[in-house]
Amino acid sequence: MTQRPRTEVLETTAADVRGLVSARLSEGFRTAMVAGHEDDDGFRIVYVLVRAADDRRCEIVLRTPHDRPEIPSLAGVDYPVGRFEREIRDLYGVVPVGHPLPYRLVRHGHWPQGWYPMRRDADPEPVFDSDVGSFPFLEVEGDGVYEIPVGPVHAGLIEPGHFRFSVVGETILRMKARLWFVYRGVEKLFEGRRPDEAIELTERISGDTAVGHTLAFCLAVEEAGGILVAEEDRLVRALLLELERMHNHVADLGALANDVGFGIVNVHAQRLRETLLRLNKATTGHRLLRGGLTVGGARLTALPDLEVISSVAREVAELADVTLGNPTVQDRFAGTAVLSSEAARSIGTLGYVARASGLDVDARRDHPVVDLGDAFEVVVEEGGDVRSRYLVRARELAVSAAVIADLVRRLDWRLGTGRTQAPRGGVGSGLGLVEGWRGTIAHRVELDDSGLLGRVKVVDPSFFNWPALPVALTDVIVPDFPLANKSFNQSYAGNDL
């Protein structure tokens, strides 16, 4: 790392926060996260804004007392901020005053009244009520309008989420998703751990994104603790990140074909994924790439076999040709579940969802950790439909394969130092931004004076992308929903935490 990204920290008051945040947003910053904290003297809300153009980061700090925890709502300024405010309200009990949608987000009906799980005095094992309040859904009324409730337990082996469709005939009028069925209090589990003992947690935030979340966490700890990472280790980290992207994209490319009944493509995609998982095992000792990253370093057990990587990339390209060459598949993909570029931008989408709607965002370029070389390019498609999200994945996979080849060559038989470094000591905070396979992952870490983790705030790109799904469902018919949902393929565990 040649130059540490400059982070600007601004203390503000309830009266000024709106103006300050709006000013930064109009200067090209985007909201990376809004994190709640509980200090001895009250609650502290940190608005983290980042700018892609020059990798500048800005933290705006707002304090509110214990006895009257309130912040002015900025939901009208920026949509993602409004969602973070609802999250903070449910986890810390800090009320966003004037919020246009003052409904619960994380909280489920069976949580005891006044139980805010992230507070210091929160009972770790509260007595849960039955879910009497249930979850209020807006009822759509009219001739022939009916509701289809789906989940949270599904027929397939997928994570829990409840979807409520208001439908007339087969056309979806409105869809509301209810998530947070797998809220595990992950952020709370970090508190008081040594940073290197937290790796086992970060690798399990979202099982398919072990590298992405762990790397974001390591970067945040390293910034907070003043740890420098060797060039060799940074190359290894980039390599692991691309390996993770490859095996996930292959699985999605097959699953999308499977969802339109084109099963043979899925069978081959599964075979290729298995090839990659075995390669992962040979590379790190774990099929999902756990164990490769350490705080302050990284280590491989072997470099990946480039023959395998390039043959998988070649076969995936052929599979994508076969898939898109089928007229029925083409008809199912094209024009289905369109997310317009304006909607994608105002919702704050990230990752392939954003790039398929024409937004040129990628943390690998915007917040670089290591130079990825000429093989790297950001893939952007304009359509915003299922086909575009398919194409972005297919093209990104090819880019990843090329980047891996380049990184392996640059590593030149080095496997990484595998060093674990302790923070330099003293209070500090840091932000890690990583382009995981789903999109930009953000971790913000605060270290206390003994070098232990004080507060870790985790943001999976799914938190930003979930609200885009209902928007994309305009004019979509019910039997196309599973396909649309798969094309977004958001994480439940990463969102729910």
Partner 1 sequence: MNGGAAALAVVQVVVMLVVSPLLVGLMRQTRARLEGRVGAGVLQPWRDLRKLAAKETLRASGTGWVSAAGPLVLVASGLLACALVPLVGAVPFVSVPDDLFVVVSVLLVGTVALALVGLDAGTAFGGMGSSRHMTIAALVEPTVLVAVYALSIPVGSSALSRIVLARIDDPASVASPVSLLALVALAIAVVAETGRLPVDNPSTHLELTMIHEAMVIESSGRDLGWLELGSWLRLGALLGLLGSLLVPWGVAQDAGVAAVLVGVVTLVLKLAVLGCVLAAAEVFVAKLRLFRVPELLAGSFVLAFLAVTASYLVVQAG
Under the rule (CB under 8 A), what is the footprint of partner 1? 146-150, 154-156, 170, 257, 259-264, 267-268, 271, 326, 328-329, 331-332, 477-482
The minimum distance between CB 277 and partner 1, in angstroms, equals 18
Nearer residue to partner 1 within complex by CB, 85 or 259: 259
The minimum distance between CB 312 and partner 1, in angstroms, equals 16
Pairing of strands 162-168, 171-178: antiparallel
Please give the Cα distance from 338 to 137 (Å, whole number). 24
Whose structure tokens read 């774990």? 286
The answer to whether 440 touches 351, Cβ cutoff 8 Å, is yes
Nearer residue to partner 1 within complex by CB, 294 or 336: 336
The minimum distance between CB 326 and partner 1, in angstroms, equals 6
Nearer residue to partner 1 within complex by CB, 123 or 331: 331
Please give the Cα distance from 104 to 82 (Å, whole number). 12
The minimum distance between CB 38 and partner 1, in angstroms, equals 42
* C-alpha 410 chain-centroid distance: 29
What is the Rg, in whole angstroms, of the alpha carbon atoms belonging to the chain? 22
Nearer residue to partner 1 within complex by CB, 12 or 270: 270
The minimum distance between CB 335 and partner 1, in angstroms, equals 10
Nearer residue to partner 1 within complex by CB, 53 or 155: 155
Nearest-CA neighbor of 438 among 254, 245, 272, 277?
A: 245
Helix (H, G, I), strand (E, B), or coil: what is residue 477? strand
The answer to whether 117 touches 91, Cβ cutoff 8 Å, is yes
Please give the Cα distance from 51 to 17 (Å, whole number). 18
Report residue 8: phi and psi, to 5°: -100, 130
- Which residues have CB under 8 Å from 118's CB, separation 6+? 36, 38, 91, 92, 185, 187, 188
Nearer residue to partner 1 within complex by CB, 241 or 253: 253
The minimum distance between CB 354 and partner 1, in angstroms, equals 26
Torsion, Cα 290 350 356 342, to 10 degrees, reads: 170
The minimum distance between CB 278 and partner 1, in angstroms, equals 17
Report residue 209: phi and psi, to 5°: -125, 40
Nearer residue to partner 1 within complex by CB, 148 or 228: 148
The answer to whether 427 touches 215, Cβ cutoff 8 Å, is no
Q: Which two tokens stand for residue 366?
A: 């915007």
Residues linked to residue 440 through DSSP beta bridges, in sequence order: 435
Nearer residue to partner 1 within complex by CB, 142 or 156: 156
The minimum distance between CB 274 and partner 1, in angstroms, equals 12
